[in-house]
A and B are shown apart, each in its own frame.
Chain A
Amino acid sequence: MRNVSGLGLSGAVAFMALLAASGPALSQQAPMLDELVSSGALPPLEERLPANPLVIEPVESIGTYGGTWRSALRGGLDNAWIARTVAYDGLVRYDREWKEIIPNLAESWEVSADSRTYTFKLRDGLKWNNGTPFTSEDIAFAVELFSEPTYGGGTFIKNPQNPVSVEVVDDTTFSLVFGNPNGVIMDELASVNGLTLVSLNKAYCSQFYPAYNENAGAEAQAAGFETWEAWMEDRCGWATETIRWGNPELPFMNAWMVEQPLTGDATRATFVRNPYYWKVDTEGNQLPYIDRLDMRVSDSLEEITLMALNGEIDFQDRHIATVVNQPLFFDGQEQGDYRLGANVPSNMNTLVLQFNLNHVDEKRRELFQNKDFRIGISHLLDREEIIDVVFTGQGEPFQAAPRPESPFYDEEMAKQYTEYDPDAAAAAFEAAGLVRNGDYYTFADGTPLNVTIDLISSFRSEWVDMMELMQLQLEAGGINIELNNIDRTLYYDKRLVGDYDAQIWQGDGGLDVIQEPRYYMPSGAESVWAFRWQAWYNGSDPEIAEEPADWAKEQMDLYTQLRGEGDPAVRDDLMKQILAIAKENFPVIGVSLPGNGYYIAKNNMRNIAEPMLHAYLFPTPAPYDPFQWYFD
């Protein structure tokens, strides 16, 4: 893993300046573009690149042009894979170590002292894939459109607690001005969500918007859509959602552009190189190296798995890289002419058990809020057995805590109460006021205690195996457990009602600790263990909101401060305080640290970093620059 350091970057920029001075002779483009340029259909390379293109240092070596990268989408609505391979070019981006935010479309930025005004300077001469200039006006248009209450997803532009406006200085300079200090906006812009701001071409998309085209409503209806919003969504979308890849006319800034669109009945979606892509390698060759992306649209995991075994997939990890498939892929490497590489997952846990601290039943709420009860449960879990049986020995016992790779890692937090210790559990249950009556514990007044744990087996098949083992272990320790395998939508509906004992989910927030603190504090709707507390904090669902316990309120105060803090060092310190409170109060129970994931890459595919950090917000492999991968 190499990093484009500040020094390397400025050196590369100087190199490019030298290059420009010595004429275009050294600059190169893909052979498939040569003919277009000589026939006059495409302007020469110098006119297509910005004045200072982003120079990328290849992971291993300078590549060669050509080839098609084959992969697969599961069903038609697998937008995440496209986001991770094609659509990751925001104003800024993360470095390959996920530590620093570095320039991308914006070559530089300044933050005002009060952290309210962020002024960006775009590269001079950036162009959309149709050759029209990309300017500050496009950004302002995006903010204007997303400010419409009826349009767009839940982006930062829509945050009512911190409204934003744009001040356009000139074609390449603009400021985002927030109502209140904003300390997390750079992370938002560098993550996969950063695309929202830079993906609307004003010239094209304004034709569907009543503010620019008074007939937009009527034209939408003529096209078969009830509202202008629906028509706009169909044509322009708003982020990385699937619908965006169904319209080849929609301009993009990505390395590859839509060739064969992804529609509802497509069996294949393809992308072809963007001749105006604004990144070059250290020798001035325009990127990407690979000509095309070819994605098989398949509802069948079996088909995708067989395709990979058969060598028909050049790079993929999504869907097929499961624990169960690993030995299969390992054995098939020679025949399929591919290799396995390592992914470090951002999840910190294979399963997080969340007791409902806001249960509607008084007695249960009191019990689940009792830290001793949760400690007792944690001591009853024989984590080594689970790791051996379900995960073939991969991983280690772990609580809901930042991963060892994270700067927030705290060994004590990660390991507390993880040892299998029935005696300690018995003592903890006694401290929690439970009474052992024959085989099982009951409440102090003798009413039986049956704990029902909701799970969705369709999301992670190993959850069923894990839960069945955990059920046996807990029952051996006197806690009567019932497993309730339910549908995803019911799972979500239950949160509002509040009548569930416990639910499980995966361990988000292992590396993206600040961005995803759901298990450390009641931060959002995914904090199922304290749904009514987070509702109080977020102002959502006021009819069920409940005032949180003092420790959680303290965390919320700290997090509110964090969100308004411009200095990264202070932010980290605030997060550490939040984590310390989480460690002390032990709200949820983890099982084990996930072992490394893996990806499959054809042996002739080069420049793939190893290992790669893996998360959705840091949408692997995008931060490792797939546009500099090549076939040799």
Chain B
Amino acid sequence: MLRFVTNRLIAMVLTLWAVSFVAFAIIQLPPGDYLTTYVASLSAQGERVDPRMIEALRNQYGFGEPFIVQYWKWISGILTRGDFGQSFEWKAPVTSLIWGRLGNSLLVEGLAVLVMWTIALPIGIYVAVKKYSLGDYLATIAGFIGLAIPNFLMALLLMYLSFVWFGTTIGGLYSPGFENAHWSLPKLMDFLSRAWAPVLVLATAGTAELIRILRANLLDELKKPYVVTARAKGLPEWKVILKYPVRVALNPLVSTIGWLLPALVSSSVIVSVVLNLPTAGPLLLRSLTSQDMYLAGAIIMLLGVLTVIGTLISDLLLAWIDPRIRYGSK
């Protein structure tokens, strides 16, 4: 097991290095650079920009240098000093911008995962055990509707309905008074009074998928002889199902936990923009459109880290729920 984890860690480092390289390359693919965008926005406001100043800035930002030199500067800063570079737009170190946003992202999206699993697991088990029942059909229809409605549309609907019905706007994660307050019970209540909307939107999107996977897996397992044996031996029905087939059926779900985090972050970008959530999504979108490359690079890089860590977690979990899987030993 130890050897497995070590191997995994080495692979992680290599993967991250590749991710960083690709991330940095992708950001530089579109035509122009941050300064083009900057000049565009200035002239949209009617300001005129001296080409000489642009030239000076281009040198200052190091845009004239070859790709590999720019990449090396960036990655060595991260490795040696934990310095992700400067955000061009905010003229501030990237690190000062992203941590709070990533924290909010993890909070909202973690809650969404939790809600998704809490809804999907019981329903998934229920519809497998009672297949083709009325409950099965209802749950399936509800799940598919959740999957089919685009997230942004659902967010818009929620905003509109809460405006029409309750006369409130549900944008953001905190009310005005709580934005900068320390965590406390009232702040938590305030957070929950607003966070339900994005959590609901994000959770409904993935629920149907989970239900269907769990249902299919469980249906396969329920027919197997060991289930019949357990039943024949007189084990209570709930124990028969929960202790054995469900554990096995969870396997494919657990092994994809690693993809869950980045998928949620990327799927939540538009929801976050619509609902004005202070998460990493809008920051990433904004930095990509303005070609604020160090900021975008840092966020993409951290999403990569999340994926890799998530994969490691799912591997460990898998080993725990399914002892048949034995890593590294012969």
Chain A residues near B (Cβ < 8 Å): 75-77, 80, 149-150, 152-154, 158-160, 193, 224-227, 229-230, 233-234, 242-243, 246, 260, 263-265, 267-268, 294, 296, 298-300, 302-303, 306-307, 309-310, 312, 459, 487-493, 508, 512, 515-516, 524-526, 538, 540-541, 615-617
Judge whether B91 and A233 touch: CB under 8 Å: yes
| Cβ-defined partner of B286 (8 Å) among A243, A299, A617 | A299
Q: A39 to chain B: closest CB distance in Å?
A: 26
Chain A residue at minimum C-beta to C-beta distance from B34:
A489
B52 located at the interface, meaning its Cβ lies under 8 Å from any Cβ of chain A in the complex: yes
- Which residues on B sit within 8 Å (CB–CB) of A524? 48
B169 located at the interface, meaning its Cβ lies under 8 Å from any Cβ of chain A in the complex: yes
Chain A residue at minimum C-beta to C-beta distance from B51:
A540
B32 located at the interface, meaning its Cβ lies under 8 Å from any Cβ of chain A in the complex: yes
Q: A273 to chain B: closest CB distance in Å?
A: 19
Chain A residue at minimum C-beta to C-beta distance from B100:
A265
10 contacts across the A-B interface (CB closer than 8 A): A76-B286, A260-B180, A263-B92, A267-B276, A298-B172, A302-B159, A303-B276, A489-B32, A525-B49, A616-B45
Count class of interface residues, chain B:
35 or more
- Which residues on B sit within 8 Å (CB–CB) of A263? 90, 92, 96-97
Judge whether B60 and A299 touch: CB under 8 Å: no
Give a binary string over B161-201; 1 marks a CB under 8 Å from any A CB, 0 the rest: 00100011101111010011000000000000000000000
Judge whether B32 and A303 touch: CB under 8 Å: no
Q: A196 to chain B: closest CB distance in Å?
A: 11
B101 located at the interface, meaning its Cβ lies under 8 Å from any Cβ of chain A in the complex: yes
Q: B182 to chain A: closest CB distance in Å?
A: 16
B37 located at the interface, meaning its Cβ lies under 8 Å from any Cβ of chain A in the complex: yes
Give a binary string over B203-230; 1 marks a CB under 8 Å from any A CB, 0 the rest: 0000000000000000000000000000
- Which residues on B sit within 8 Å (CB–CB) of A225? 86
Give the number of residue pairs across the A-B interface with Cβ within 8 Å: 148
Within 8 A of A (CB), among B19-50: 30-32, 36-37, 39-40, 42-50
Judge whether A158 and B50 touch: CB under 8 Å: yes
Chain B residue at minimum C-beta to C-beta distance from A223:
B93
- Which residues on A sit within 8 Å (CB–CB) of B47? 153-154, 193
- Which residues on A sit within 8 Å (CB–CB) of B87? 264
| Residue from the set B50, B163, B272 with the largest chain A CB neighbour count within 10 Å | B50
- Which residues on B sit within 8 Å (CB–CB) of A508? 46
Q: A293 to chain B: closest CB distance in Å?
A: 13
Judge whether B43 and A526 touch: CB under 8 Å: yes
Chain B residue at minimum C-beta to C-beta distance from A526:
B43
B275 located at the interface, meaning its Cβ lies under 8 Å from any Cβ of chain A in the complex: yes
- Which residues on A sit within 8 Å (CB–CB) of B167? 310
Q: A188 to chain B: closest CB distance in Å?
A: 11
* A617 and B42 alpha carbons, distance in the complex (Å): 12
- Which residues on B sit within 8 Å (CB–CB) of A229? 60
B282 located at the interface, meaning its Cβ lies under 8 Å from any Cβ of chain A in the complex: yes
- Which residues on B sit within 8 Å (CB–CB) of A152? 53
Judge whether A230 and B180 touch: CB under 8 Å: no
B156 located at the interface, meaning its Cβ lies under 8 Å from any Cβ of chain A in the complex: yes
| Residue from the set A149, A265, A309, A512 with the largest chain B CB neighbour count within 10 Å | A265
* A419 and B287 alpha carbons, distance in the complex (Å): 45
| Cβ-defined partner of B40 (8 Å) among A76, A265, A267, A489 | A489
- Which residues on A sit within 8 Å (CB–CB) of B159? 302-303, 306
Judge whether A490 and B31 touch: CB under 8 Å: yes
Judge whether B52 and A149 touch: CB under 8 Å: yes
Judge whether A310 and B169 touch: CB under 8 Å: yes
With A230-B91, A234-B91: A268-B176 Cβ-Cβ less than 8 Å: yes
Judge whether B93 and A302 touch: CB under 8 Å: no
Q: B85 to chain A: closest CB distance in Å?
A: 10
Judge whether A302 and B31 touch: CB under 8 Å: no
* A173 and B46 alpha carbons, distance in the complex (Å): 31
| Cβ-defined partner of A158 (8 Å) among B30, B53, B101 | B53
- Which residues on B sit within 8 Å (CB–CB) of A226? 86
Judge whether B86 and A309 touch: CB under 8 Å: no
* A615 and B46 alpha carbons, distance in the complex (Å): 9
Chain B residue at minimum C-beta to C-beta distance from A226:
B86
B274 located at the interface, meaning its Cβ lies under 8 Å from any Cβ of chain A in the complex: yes
With A267-B174, A302-B156, A306-B159: A224-B83 Cβ-Cβ less than 8 Å: yes
B232 located at the interface, meaning its Cβ lies under 8 Å from any Cβ of chain A in the complex: no
Judge whether A154 and B282 touch: CB under 8 Å: no
With A160-B52, A229-B60, A268-B176: A299-B276 Cβ-Cβ less than 8 Å: yes
| Cβ-defined partner of B60 (8 Å) among A150, A193, A310, A489 | A150
| Cβ-defined partner of A310 (8 Å) among B51, B163, B283 | B163
B69 located at the interface, meaning its Cβ lies under 8 Å from any Cβ of chain A in the complex: no
| Cβ-defined partner of A267 (8 Å) among B31, B56, B168, B172 | B172
Judge whether B90 and A264 touch: CB under 8 Å: yes
| Residue from the set A80, A154, A229, A493 with the largest chain B CB neighbour count within 10 Å | A154
B89 located at the interface, meaning its Cβ lies under 8 Å from any Cβ of chain A in the complex: yes
B278 located at the interface, meaning its Cβ lies under 8 Å from any Cβ of chain A in the complex: yes
- Which residues on A sit within 8 Å (CB–CB) of B32? 489-490, 492-493
B273 located at the interface, meaning its Cβ lies under 8 Å from any Cβ of chain A in the complex: yes
* A490 and B33 alpha carbons, distance in the complex (Å): 10
Judge whether A488 and B56 touch: CB under 8 Å: no
B311 located at the interface, meaning its Cβ lies under 8 Å from any Cβ of chain A in the complex: no
Chain A residue at minimum C-beta to C-beta distance from B49:
A154
| Cβ-defined partner of A298 (8 Å) among B36, B171, B291 | B171
